[in-house]
Structure 1
C-alpha cells in the first residue's frame, strides 16, 4: 500500500526542543493524514488531558497523495483534543500548505507543551527555530502573514496561523492557512493559542519522491474539462435547490425555508466572483474569490455553510453582508459555522434577526472576548442557558446546514458522529439529496452510514478533497494507493474505533449520541442501536475491550455500494 513517509517531528514549546521519531509502522498501518494522526493521538494524548493544558497535542499530518500532482490533493489534516466537544477532532484545510509541509521531509508534526511567550515556530528540513513574537499579540491572520513575509520571505502558503480568537481561546477558533483556508471545526486554533503558538512556517527541499499510477492523469484531465456548476459557484450552487426541496434552517432553526434565499444563493455569489481560485495542483478550481467594490470587501467565499450560518440562520438576505462576516471570521480565525450559529442564537435572544451590522459587531466581540462575546466564545452548548434558547448542538458542536429533521439519515449521522454535528463526518446528506436514499426514516441506514464514515476516513487520510469524489472514485483511489478498497475501509473502521474509544475514556457514551430534535426523526433510538451493532460496539455506545483492531465485517462496510 502506498502511504505517507517520513518521521514524526515532536515540537515541545515548553522546552523549545524537538525530537524526531520513526513511525514507519504507524504509517504503513494507517496510510497518512487523519488515520495516522488519530492513531498517534490515541496513544500519546492522556485520556484525562485538559484541552487547554500542556498535555494536549495538536497534529499536522499529510498523506501519500500530497507527494503527487493529482488534482483534489491540495489538503492537509489536523487532529487534537477539542475544547468545543471535549473529544478527539480532525479537520482539514485546502490551499497550498501541503506541498511546503511535505518539503520538510516530515509526515507528521506534533505540538506539545505550553510557552509563556508568544511564538512563531519555523520548521525546515534542516531544523526548527523558535522565535518570540510579542509584537504579534492580537494580530489578525493577514497581519501575521505580512510579518512572516517581511521577516522570513515566506508567503501565506508556507504558514499556519491563529488570529485573536485563537489567542483568546474561543472554543471554535480555527487554524488558518493561506489567510482564507481554515482547519475549521472543533477549536484547534484555541489549542494552539493555549500553547502560545501564533504561527508555524514550513519550508524545505526534502519531499519524498513517489511513483503513482497513470490514472492521476485521467483525474487531472477530467477535473480541468468539467463543466460542473460547482466550478462556478462552489458549494453555494445547491442553495436554492436545498431551500426549495428540503430545508435551509432559518432564524436559528425556527423555520425550514428562507424567503431571502435568492439574495445569498449561488447566483448571488457568482455575481461577486472576480477570478478563479484553486488549491495546490488542482485543475478543478472551485474556490470563490469574491469582492464588492462599493462595500470595500474582498474575501474568498462564502461557501454554502457560511451562507447558511451568517445568512439564513440569522435572517440576513444580502450576500455582501455574508461576505463581510466571512472575511471577519477569516481575519480573526474562527469557524464560520459555529460562529454564525452562535451569533444567530444571540440574535434570537435579542429578537434581532436580520440585523447584519449587529451580527458583525458581536462576531468581533467573540474573537476578542469582549462583553457578550465572552459568553458566546464558549459556544452554544455552554451559552444557551443564559441566552434562553435551545441547545442546537451535538457533543457541543453547532449544527451544519443540512437539516436532520428532514434528512433523517443525516440526523442519525449527526447523532452518532464522534465529532458531533458536523456534515462532513458521515455524509449521508448527499445520498438523501440525490434520492439514492429515501430521506424519510432512520432505520435500515446504519450499514450505509458505517460505509460512508469509513470512506471519509480514507479520503481524509490519502488526502483527497471531498469535492473530488466523482473523479477520484473508490476504484481509482484504491489504484492510486496500490491496495484494495476493502483494506482501505478497514483502516477507516479502525480509525473510527480509536476516536470512539478515546472519547469513551473521557466518559462519553450513548448518552452523548443524541439530537435536540430526536422526536422528529422516526425510530432514531432503534437506528442508533443498529449502528452500534454494525460497528460491533456495546449497547451503551462504548468500544469493547480489546476491539480496536478486531473489526467485525459489518464495521468495514465493504458490502455497501461504493461511489
Structure 2
C-alpha cells in the first residue's frame, strides 16, 4: 500500500526541543494524513488530557499524493484533541503548504508542550534531517493572519504558502479558532487554532528541497489532471455555492437560526451572486480544477476568497442576511481573525436570535471582533453555541458541541444520522450522506437501512483525508482509481478507514462519550433504531463503545510530559 514517507518531527515548545522519530510502521498501516495522525493522537495524547493543556498534541500531516503532479492534491490534515467537542478531531485545508511541508523532509509535525513566550517555529531540511529554529515574536501578539504573513515575508523571505498561522482568536482560546494557511485557507473545524494558541505558537513555517521520491501510478494520475482541466462543472465557476438555490428550493437551508427551512432572498447570496463578485481564478497547489473564489466589491472596499456555500449559510441564511457583500465581509473577518466560518456564523446567529436582530450584518461583524478578542458578549460566544445557548436563551443546535453545517438533517434524514453518530460532531464532511440524498440515489426520507452505506462513506472519507486528496475530486478519483493510486484493493482501504474511525471512537469513549452523545437536537424518524443499526454495522457495543482489546496501538510511545 502506497504511503507517505519521512519521520515525525516532535517539537516541544516548552523546552524548545525537536526530535525526529521514525514512524515507518505507522505510515505503512495508515497511508498518511488523517489516518496516520489519528493513530498517533490516540496512542500519544493522554485520554484525560486538557485540550488547552501542554499534554495535548497537535498533528500536521501529509500523504503520498502530495508527491504527485495530480489535481486535487494540494491539501493537508490537522488532528488533535478539540476544545470545542472534547474529543479527537481532524480537519484539512488546501492551498500551497503541502509541497513546502514535504520539502522540509518530514511526514508529520507533532506539537506538544507550552511556551512561556509567543513563538514562531521554523522547520527546514538539513543534511541530517529536519531542523528547527525557535523565534520569539512578541511583536505579533494579536496580529491578524495577513500581518503574520507580511512579517514572515519581510524577516524570512517566506510567503503565506510556507506558513500555518493563528489569528487573535487562537491566541485568545476561542473554542472554534482555526489554523490558517495561505492567508485564506483554513484548518477550520474543531478549534485546533486554539490548541496552538494554548501552546503560544503563533506560526510555523516550512521550507526545503527534501521531499521524498514517491512513485504515483500514471495513469490514472495524468487522466485525473486532464479531466480536471477540461471539466465544465458549475463548481469551477461558482465553487460550492453553485447548488445554493437548488438546495434551498428543493430541500432546506437552515434559516434564522433554524427557525425556518428556506430563505426568501436566496438569489441575493447564492451562486450567481458570488460569481458576479469573482474577479479571477483561484486554485490549490498543482490543481487544474481551479474552483476557488477570489471575490471583491470595489464600492465597499472588500476583497476576500469566497464565500463558499457553508459560509453563505452560516453568515447569510442562518443570520437572515441577504447581501452577498455583507457575507463576504464576514468571511474575510473570519480569515483574518482565524475562526471557523461555520461555528462562528452559527454562534453569531444564535446571538442575533437572542437579540431579535436577524438581518443586522453590522452587528454580526462587530460581534465577530468581540469574539476573537473575548470582549463583552464575545467572551461568552467564544465558548461556542453548546456552552453559550443557556445564557442566550436559545436552543442548542449542535452535536457533540459542534455547530451544524448547512445540509439540513431535518429533511436529509440520512445526513441527520451521519451528524448524530459522527465522532467529529455535526460536520458534513465526516460521512456525507448528503450527496446521495440530494441526487435521489438514496431517498432522503427515513433513517433505517442507511447504516451500511454510511459506514462505507465514513471509511472512504478517511482514505480521502489520508491520501490526501480533495473531496471535490470525488467524480474523478473513483474507487478504482484510488485502488491503483494507493496500490491497494478497496477492501483494504476500507479497513484503513474503519481502523481510524474506531480509534477516534475509542479515544472519545475513554473521555466518557457513548450512545448518549449520538443524538440530535431535533426529531427525525427512527433515529435511535438507526443508531443501533450503525453500531451493528461497525461491530460496536450497543452503548456506542468499543472494547479496549479491539483497538491496536501502533505508534511509538510518547515521552513523559
TM value normalised by structure 2: 0.97
Tell me the CA shift for residue 105 of structure 1.
Answer: 1.1
Structure 1 range deviating more: 269-278 or 474-483 = 474-483
What per-residue deviation string (whole Å, max 9, x for no partner) do you get for residues 316-355 of structure 1? Answer: 0110000000000000000000000000000000000000
Confirm whether residue 488 of structure 1 aligns to residue 493 of structure 2: yes
Partner Cα separation in structure 2 for residue 487 and residue 257 of structure 1: 42
Is the counterpart of residue 95 in structure 1 residue 100 in structure 2? no
How do 1:221-260 residues align onto structure 2 when only pairs under 5 Å count? 221-260=226-265
Kindly report structure 1 stretches of 4+ aligned residues shifted beyond 4 Å. Answer: none
Q: How does 1:26-105 map to 2 (within 5 A)?
A: 26-105=26-105
Which residue among 543, 552, 558 is the counterpart of 1:540? 543
Distance in 1, matches of 2:497 and 2:242, equals: 30
In 1, the alpha carbon distance for the partners of 2:428 and 2:412 equals 12
Q: What is the number of equivalent residue pairs in this alignment?
A: 548
For residue 290 of structure 1, the aligned residue among 284, 290, 295 is: 295
CA-to-partner distance for each residue in 1:456-510, whole Å, 9 max, x for gaps?
0000000010000001111101101111111000000000000000000001100
Give the number of the structure with larger relative contact order, counting CA–CA contacts within 8 Å between residues 6 or more apart. 2
Aligned to 1:546, the other structure's residue is in SS state helix
**Deviation of 1:548 (Å):** 2.1
**Mapped partners of 1:4, 1:548: distance in 2:** 22
Query: Mind listing any 5+ residue stretches in structure 2 that lack a counterpart?
Result: 554-561
- Name the CA distance, whole Å, in 2 between partners of 1:21 and 1:164: 32
Q: Alpha-carbon deviations, 1:275-304, whole Å to 9, x = none?
A: 000000000000000000001000000000
How far, CA to CA, are the matches of 1:381 and 1:535 in structure 2?
28
Matches within 5 A, 1:144-293: 144-214=148-218, 215-293=220-298
1:218 & 1:380 partners in 2: Cα distance? 44
1:500 aligns with 2:505: yes
Tell me how far 1:549 sits from its aligned partner: 5.4
Residues 150-170 of structure 1, C-alpha deviation per residue, up to 9 Å, x if partnerless?
000000000000000000000
SS in structure 1 at match of 2:83: coil
Kept in 1, the 8 Å contact 2:506–2:548? The answer is no
> Is there any run of 5+ residues in structure 1 with no aligned partner, and where?
551-563
Post-superposition Cα deviations, 1:516-544, rounded to whole Å, max 9, x if no partner, equal 00x2x101000000000110100100012
Tell me whether 1:528 sits opposite 2:543 in the alignment.
no
SS class of match (2:540): coil
Q: Distance in 2 between matches of 1:116 and 1:510?
A: 40
Counterpart Cα distance in 2 of 1:96 and 1:304: 22
Whole-Å separation in 2 of the counterparts to 1:321 and 1:425: 29
Q: Could you tell me how far apart the structure 1 residues matched to 2:5 and 2:287 are? A: 22
1:545 to partner: Cα distance: 2.9
TM-score w.r.t. structure 1 length?
0.97
Q: Distance in 2 between matches of 1:18 and 1:163?
A: 24
Alignment of 1:263-342 (within 5 A): 263-342=268-347
Task: Provide the alpha-carbon RMSD of the alignment.
Answer: 0.7
Q: Report how far residue 120 of structure 1 moved.
A: 0.2
Offset, 1:546: 1.3
User: Could you tell me how far apart the structure 2 residues matched to 1:277 and 1:462 are?
Assistant: 22
Aligned to 1:555: none
Does residue 136 in structure 1 map to residue 140 in structure 2? Answer: yes
Q: How far apart are the structure 2 equivalents of 1:549 and 1:133?
A: 41
Q: C-alpha offsets along residues 174-216 of structure 1, whole Å, 9 cap, x if unaligned?
A: 0000000000000000000000000000000100012211110
